[in-house]
Structure 1
Amino acid sequence: MENSTNAFPGSGQGAERATYAARNAQYWRRNLAICVFGSFTTLVSLSMLLPFLPLYVQQLGVTSTAAVVQWSGVAFGVTFLGTAVTAPIWGQLADRYGRKPMLIRAAVGMAVVMSTIGLAHNVYELVALRFAAGLIGGYASAAIVMIGTQVPPERAGWALGVLSTGVLAGNLVGPLIGGVLPNLIGIRGSFFAGGGMIALAAVLTITLVREDFSKRPETKTKQVQSSAQNTNHNYAVLAALLITAMMVLLSNMSIEPIITVYIAQLGVAHNRLATVAGIVMACSAFGSMIMAARLGALADRIGGWNVIIGCLVATAVVMIPQAFVKEWWQLAALRGLMGMTLAGLLPSIAKLVRGTVNEQKSGKMLGYLQSAQYAGQVIGPLIGGVIGVHFGMRYVFFVTGALLIACAILGRWAQQKPASTATL
């Protein structure tokens, strides 16, 4: 890890060094490219098991169909639970020891654990290893912390949008690879291949990522020791941002776990359900891939809150017609539009979180942001399932749309709060 001794021009001995972003101005573009590749490969490895996870559960001795479904759901979801638990911890350690060590930890840890999953003897080991992957992994989360704090503030929205595109592409390509790879090298071999992909990302991270890190000393000037009013303002804004981040994943995931059932109600033949459901879900990810960087750049020009509020309202508007579709392709088109409107949210939120806290705590707060997103990923299917069972599938769209509008109102309130210096 490189350590520069450059200070502000004209500064004397003992003067504070330049900000973290300024010290790493020459590195962030290359680091962004490596982080995009690393996030893509890790998400491919984590999501490619979706098509064959039930088959692997069966190989590990689970026989009944109900138990296979249950254990497959647990094994898949427990990884995100692990990441949600540890993301703030890793973010805090990034503030203390640097961003690059956290990237290396995630890549090396996930490469080892992913390969070890291919050696599991029973379903309990599978779940434990998937949980370990979430606890020790989180390359994409670590990448958001690095890029979110290293890129110049005026380019943060665009850079985080590009990084989000890599994550979305990994989630989109992973299941496609997972549908082919086991036929070529077997299920256990697929896990070894996934571990190998992440190992390549680890090597590139170790050799090519550069960081000039040194923890700036806590100062006791009036600019740093803010008033209670400013502190309360920042807490309120941060709470609004974290709630909004949770809503992004909640709105997307509220229907996806039961979307196959909804498509069946549209008259799609049983033998085509899996294919059509895959296409519909892919449309959302593809729409986000197209627009993430563009809307991130728009946030750099017109402000993060303007993009967030606009995207929340647009997503709510696109959500409602999904309750009235008559054909599956209509749902696919609307999900694609919804993916586009959702795409601007996470880059804009991360950009604002960075600007709301001081440099020493940015990693920790971006870690909390990741936890909020994963919470939405867990809560969304639960809400969607309950509403779908008790009120009908169409009401899932109505409730989710209403929650998005409420979140837009919350965002408008936070936007109108008087500006304050980042002091938390």
Structure 2
Amino acid sequence: MWFANFLVAASTTMIMPFLSLYIETFGVFSEEYVQRWAGFVFGITFLTAFFVSPLWGRFGDKRGYKPILMITGYGIATSIFLMGFIRSVEGLFILRLLMGAVTGFIPTSLALISSQTPKKIAGKTLGTLQMGTVSGGLLGPLMGGFMADLFGFQYTFIITSIAIAIAATIVAIGIKENREKKVQKNQQTFTRKEVLGHIFNHRGLMTIMFITLLVQVASLSIQPLLALYVNELTNSSNIAFLAGVAFSAAGFGNLLTTRAWGKLGDSIGYERVLLILLLFAALVFIPKAFVTSLWQLILFRFLFGIAIGGIIPCVTAYIRQVAPASMQGEVLGYNMSFRFLGNVIGPVMGGIFAGFFGISSVFFITSALFLLTFVILWWNVKKSTSIIRSEKRNS
């Protein structure tokens, strides 16, 4: 799974640094038009995935996660292959929309490994798995930017699709899902209404879902615009490659720390680790608005990668702890939906603010979102601690 995630993450992030540049090849457009459509094209995939993810999660609880991995793997590969032959921004938008219906390979892999991992080491294990994703995300933008400059956009899309198809084939041949625990006759099953009721009635789960949404909004707000921002900071002709370097800087920081954050969450609690990460992310995002050279942007992207590295493993491990086994896939599916909704809102929001106030304004908005998320989680932890202490005094 680690190797398959590496291939998928590397391949899907190959196209991210030059997505806005690819739109510019379709015609002569204004800067505001490219920024706006970069946000729309980037976000529409996740809008579709927002509605589909809970269905995949419920299917996984009943039938297993391996079939979902194969469907999403081959589906993503087909979508990206066709993107290399599209010649209009509207066509690219439609392909990204259709791709959303089969998006979710990496989140589903987390659900698969989580379902078969002891709770006491869930954070460490998921952090280790996340290293495969991060390693791919680290190399993907570099390789994508390099290939786009060397071979052109079309061949980069084709190579990307082949790599993802290989990852799906690895799953088909090399993964054996152990579902013995999930098919016990005496295990309780839940309807969709009961699953939603459990989420809405659980303070911690609702807070985690909302945090997932805000973190994704903040993280994705700048990504479609990063190549344009790099272009403002340098006069080099290799913009796609340099944008890939800026993308990968966050991945490198993530790679160095994601396993350690998960292990720390196992020891001191996932909510405490999340508080540290959210505050750190809020602080390191502001300086990006004031950078005057590319190396400064790369440095703060690296620090942001350190901050963001443990959020996904800690969130997944927390859900693993508090959700009943027979509904974990569906609960994780709803959490994926919140992530994908954030992936929709973030790029669109970033594109709109950049169009009106400039790209630098997006960094201030993003930092404020991370700070808001920190306050929400801190308030929930404080409230939960007060309730526990009150119950102990009463008993």
* Equivalent residue for 1:65, pick from 15, 21, 29: 29
Give yes or no for the alignment of 1:211 onto 2:184.
no
1:183 deviates by 7.2
Q: CA RMSD in A?
A: 3.4
Distance in 2 between residues matched to 1:166 and 1:133, nearest whole Å: 22
Label 1:414 to 1:135 Cα distance change in 2 as closer, same or farther (>3 A).
same
Q: Contact 1:144/1:366 (CA < 8 Å) preserved in 2?
A: no
Q: Contact 2:215/2:369 (CA < 8 Å) preserved in 1?
A: no
Label 1:282 to 1:182 Cα distance change in 2 as closer, same or farther (>3 A).
closer
1:278 deviates by 4.2
Q: Contact 1:110/1:198 (CA < 8 Å) preserved in 2?
A: yes
Label 1:124 to 1:382 Cα distance change in 2 as closer, same or farther (>3 A).
closer
Distance in 1 between residues matched to 2:205 and 2:286, nearest whole Å: 28
* Equivalent residue for 2:65, pick from 99, 112, 119: 99
Give yes or no for the alignment of 1:133 onto 2:99.
yes
Q: Contact 2:16/2:224 (CA < 8 Å) preserved in 1?
A: no
Distance in 2 between residues matched to 1:400 and 1:201, nearest whole Å: 33
Q: Which residue of 2 aligns with 1:404?
A: 370
Distance in 1 between residues matched to 2:357 and 2:84, nearest whole Å: 41
Q: Residue type matched to 2:213 in 1?
A: M
How many residues of Structure 1 are paired with residues of Structure 2 in the alignment?
A: 373
Q: Which residue of 2 aligns with 1:170?
A: 136
Distance in 2 between residues matched to 1:124 and 1:232, nearest whole Å: 37
Q: Which residue of 2 aligns with 1:318?
A: 284
Label 1:77 to 1:398 Cα distance change in 2 as closer, same or farther (>3 A).
closer
> Structure 2: where are the runs of 5+ without partners?
189-196, 389-395
Q: Superposed, which structure 2 residues align to 1:139-158 within 5 Å?
A: 139-158=105-124
TM-score for the superposition, normalised by structure 2: 0.80
Q: Which residue of 2 aligns with 1:354?
A: 320
Label 1:386 to 1:82 Cα distance change in 2 as closer, same or farther (>3 A).
closer
Secondary structure of 2:177 counterpart: coil
Give yes or no for the alignment of 1:291 onto 2:257.
yes
Q: Contact 2:123/2:314 (CA < 8 Å) preserved in 1?
A: yes
Distance in 2 between residues matched to 1:167 and 1:373, nearest whole Å: 16
Q: Which residue of 2 aligns with 1:79?
A: 45
Q: Superposed, which structure 2 residues align to 1:15-414 within 5 Å?
A: 35-50=1-16, 62-66=26-30, 74-118=40-84, 120=86, 124-181=90-147, 187-213=153-179, 214-217=182-185, 234-259=201-226, 268-271=233-236, 274=239, 277-387=243-353, 396-414=362-380
1:346 deviates by 1.4
Q: Percent identity?
A: 30
Q: Residue type matched to 1:172 in 2?
A: L
Structure showing greater Rg: 1
Q: Which residue of 2 aligns with 1:8?
A: none
1:200 deviates by 2.0
CA displacement 1:67-103 (0-9 Å, x = unmatched): 7776665444333333233111101110111122211
Distance in 2 between residues matched to 1:295 and 1:86, nearest whole Å: 30
Q: Residue type matched to 2:59 in 1?
A: L
Task: Pick which of 323-332 and 371-380 moved more.
Answer: 323-332
CA displacement 1:28-82 (0-9 Å, x = unmatched): xxxxxxx2222222233323234665676677xx432347776665444333333
> Structure 1: where are the runs of 5+ without partners?
1-34, 221-229, 420-424
Distance in 2 between residues matched to 1:127 and 1:84, nearest whole Å: 16
Q: Contact 1:299/1:307 (CA < 8 Å) preserved in 2?
A: yes
TM-score for the superposition, normalised by structure 1: 0.75
Task: Pick which of 240-249 and 401-410 moved more.
Answer: 401-410
Secondary structure of 1:137 counterpart: coil
Secondary structure of 2:62 counterpart: helix
Distance in 1 between residues matched to 2:21 and 2:304, nearest whole Å: 32
Q: Which residue of 1 aligns with 2:193?
A: none
Q: Residue type matched to 1:148 in 2?
A: S
Q: Contact 2:48/2:100 (CA < 8 Å) preserved in 1?
A: yes
Distance in 1 between residues matched to 2:89 and 2:165, nearest whole Å: 25
Q: Residue type matched to 1:48 in 2?
A: M
Q: Contact 2:141/2:248 (CA < 8 Å) preserved in 1?
A: no
